[in-house]
Every structure is written in structure tokens, then in C-alpha cells.
Amino acid sequence: MLSVGDAAPVFDLVDQHGRSVTLESLRGRRLMFVFLPLAFSGICASELEQLVDDQPLFASARTEVIGISVDSMFALRTWTDAIGAPFRLLSDFWPHGAVADRFHAFDAETGRATRTSIAIDERGTVVSVFSTPADRARTTAMYAQALSMFEDVE
């Protein structure tokens, strides 16, 4: 697992609109990477809806939410459109789960991302990592705790 103080692994993925997103293109921003096992599954759908509801929490911490899933960009587009998600979901479809694996957020037995969230500061350094079991959603309180790890969050 990544640890606080580690550099975030580099990546190049496409979002739900087919636009390339790299770690380098995100430098200078606070990020919350949210690995989601599968689009349209029950717990993932409830988590995505909660992330939409929690946008004021992330905005107050000046942090951009970015979901990452092993689903195709087409599935992710349909999913975000259905829920009205205002943030990007990145497709780690091929090579299947390679980026999740670099972030130590991939379960090779199931072929899915684990339910892991990683806060990254403006320099690309990990400031918080937390996970829940596949059958348990992450909570707003967990995100609030992770956001408090940024140096100047009020």
C-alpha cells in the first residue's frame, strides 16, 4: 500500500469523455483519488452519489475528486451522466487495472479496484490513504479526516 509521504505513481488514463488525464496535468491541485470497484454496482453507486452530495466538503478543502475504475470510458460516461456526477471518472480499463495496481488499489483475484481513497497534495505527494472492505462504503467522515491532513485546510 502507498504510505503518507510517498510520491503518487505517474499515470495516463482517459476520463469518461475520452480526454487524456495524467498525473503531471494535475500538478498544483489537491486531489482525492477514489478507486471504485465497478460502475453501476450497488455500493459503488451509493458512494458516487455520496461524493456528489459531499462536493461542498471537497470544495471547502480546495480538493478535486477523481474517480478511477476498471470500467470502460463508455460505461463511466453513462454512469456519471445518470448520477449527475460533476467530477471526472478515469478509465483504467486497459491494460486492465494497471494504474490501480501501481497505486496498490487492485485486487487481482477479482479483477477490480479495491475500495481505496488516496489524498494527494499539490506536489504529488500522498497525504492520506484509507480503504474499506469491498462490502462496506467509505463515509463522509472518512473523507473529512483525510482532507484534514492537508496542511492549511480550515
CA atoms within 13 A on the CB side of 8: 28
Lowest mean pLDDT among 3-7, 15-19, 81-85: 81-85
Gap between the Cα atoms of 54 and 145, Å rounded = 13
The predicted pLDDT at position 1 comes to: 78
The catalytic residue among 44, 48, 66, 105 is: 44
Q: What is the pLDDT of residues 52-64, one digit of tens each?
A: 999 999 999 999 9
- Give the three cell numbers for residue 143: 473523507
Helix (H, G, I), strand (E, B) or coil at 47: helix
Taken in order 67, 71, 72, 75, the sign of the CA dihedral is negative
Gap between the Cα atoms of 118 and 31, Å rounded = 8
Gap between the Cα atoms of 92 and 35, Å rounded = 10
- Give the three cell numbers for residue 67: 474517480
Domain residue spans of the chain: 12-125
Helix (H, G, I), strand (E, B) or coil at 60: helix
Q: What is the pLDDT of residues 7-19, one digit of tens each?
A: 999 999 999 999 9
* Whether 24 is catalytic: no
Predicted confidence band at 152 (pLDDT cuts at 50, 70, 90)?
Answer: low
- Give the three cell numbers for residue 93: 480499463
Q: Which CATH superfamily is domain 12-125 in?
A: Glutaredoxin (3.40.30.10)
